[in-house]
Amino acid sequence: MPMYLVEHQHTDATCPAQTPENAKMMESLVLSTERQRQCGVKLVEDCKVKGEHRLLILLDASDRGNVEKYAEPFKMVGPTEVRDLTTCSEFLQNVLSGEVKGCR
Ligand SMILES: [Zn+2]
């Protein structure tokens, strides 16, 4: 299944972790299994960079559109990007077989 990374960041001014109510909303947007089911994504790993307003959320999804849907509400508080991922081993296999050259 294709993997995606949702990169999100916000500022002091828009930080949802400043009140328990907003943190609860953020929790349901990021972690809720019901929401993952509705969007058609599966959370693999959710990371927050310590000391920064920055989240890195690793997801499995059959379609990029599902991940876009999952990430949409995060845009209300700050820039949010969806990145297409592969594994290092899959990428290196493609390099070694001559299919690709370089990381781009
Ligand atoms: Zn924050």
Question: Going residue by residue through the chain (104 aa), what tens digit of pLDDT does each one get?
Answer: 899 999 999 999 999 999 999 999 999 999 999 999 999 999 999 999 999 999 999 999 999 999 999 999 999 999 999 999 999 999 999 999 999 999 98
Q: How far is the CA of 53 from the centre of ligand 1 (A)?
A: 4
pLDDT on residue 1: 87
Hey, where are the domains in the chain?
A: 3-96
Class of the 3-96 domain?
A: alpha beta
CA distance linking residue 39 with residue 70, whole number of Å = 6
Q: How far is the CA of 46 from the centre of ligand 1 (A)?
A: 15
Q: How far is the CA of 6 from the centre of ligand 1 (A)?
A: 16
